Amino acid sequence: MLINLKQNLLDLSQPHIMGILNITPDSFFEGNRFTDLSKVLDRAEKMLSEGATFLDIGGHSTRPGASPVSEEEELNRVLPVIEAIMQKFPEALISIDTFRSNVAQKCVEAGAVIINDVSGGILDDKMFETVARLGVPYVLMHMRGTIETMTQMTDYDDLVNDVLDDLQKKVYQLRQLGQKDIIIDLGFGFAKTADQNYVLLKHLEDFRLLDCPMLVGVSRKSMIWRKLNISPNDSLNGSTVLNTVALMKGANILRVHDVKEAMEAIKLISFLG
| Residues involved in catalysis | 221, 255
Please give the Cα distance from 34 to 84 (Å, whole number): 14
What is d(CA 155, CA 160) in angstroms, rounded to the nearest whole number?
Answer: 12
DSSP bridge partners of 97? 58, 116
Residue 196: count other Cβ atoms within 10 Å of its Cβ.
18
CB atoms within 10 A of CB 90: 8
Cβ pair 207, 236 in contact under 8 A: no
Buried b / exposed e over 152-174, threshold 16 CB at 10 Å, is eeeebeebbeebbebbeebbeeb
Distance in angstroms (rounded) separating the CA atoms of residues 9 and 3: 6
